[in-house]
Amino acid sequence: MKDSLVTIIGSSYFEPISTLLEKLNRNTKNSPNEVQASHLENGYAASICLLAVVCLESYVMRVRYVNNATQKEIDKASVPKYIKTLYSDFSYENELIEIHILRDLIAHNHLWEINFLWDQEVDMNLDSINRRSKGDKKYEQYVDTNNNTTKTLKLNVNPIKVCKDDAIIVLQTMWKTLLFLEDKNRNQCYVSHLSVRHEGKSQKFGEIVGLPDTHT
């Protein structure tokens, strides 16, 4: 019997994200200081951010396929731009650009030179910071260089300061986008029913990211 499929990884990322989120929750004890998050929190949070954006891109590749995107749209159009072009009422374009900025600076490990001071409680206080990696045009447009966060979602752009809060924001932005696409056409993206094993029991993915049964 002859059959066919398209190579969309998409939902395969949910279980690894769930596992990483469990470990992140267990290894988040204190808020990041002015310089960095803890080693474990930073590692798990950054990994979740990467997988969440890659997961979104996988689903959007299916959206392109279902909507008969041109080869140029498949190869060149960014995820935020493509979705906004496809659906003019899509309201998360800026947020998607910002989570892609975070993905890029983690994946390419943007380089910073940081000078800091130790206080009496043996904590690290920022003295000066020099960004050696300049980023691209969207970085300059969407990042507040005074606070070193993105302008809308307030994501940390210092790679070693990426923390649990950033990971949750990225996950929720990814999930809201997927639900928006599902509402438009379930054939192109169907995720609201998906469950993962989390903390020893089966849970809807939306529940573990804090957006249960929420549709745009």
**pLDDT tens, position by position, 52-110:** 999 999 999 999 988 987 777 777 789 999 999 999 999 999 999 999 999 999 999 98
| Closest-CA residue to 50 (of 142, 139, 154, 174) | 174
Q: Which pair of structure tokens corresponds to residue 141?
A: 């447009």
Which residue type does 215 have?
Answer: H
Residue 141 belongs to a domain: no
> Domain limits at 53?
10-109+160-208
Q: Does 122 have pLDDT greater than 70?
A: no
Residue 121 belongs to a domain: no
Residues 14-26, mean pLDDT to the nearest whole number: 94
- Give the separation between CA 12 and CA 194, rounded to whole angstroms: 11
**pLDDT tens, position by position, 41-60:** 999 999 999 999 999 999 99
Q: Does 216 have pLDDT greater than 50?
A: no
- Give the separation between CA 208 and CA 181, rounded to whole angstroms: 20
Q: Answer whether 59's CB lies under 8 Å from 67's CB.
A: no
Residue 186 belongs to a domain: yes
Residue 114 belongs to a domain: no
Domain total of the chain: 1
Residue 5 belongs to a domain: no
**pLDDT tens, position by position, 130-179:** 777 777 788 889 999 889 999 999 999 999 999 999 999 999 999 999 99
Residue 154 belongs to a domain: no
Residue 52 belongs to a domain: yes
Residue 214 belongs to a domain: no
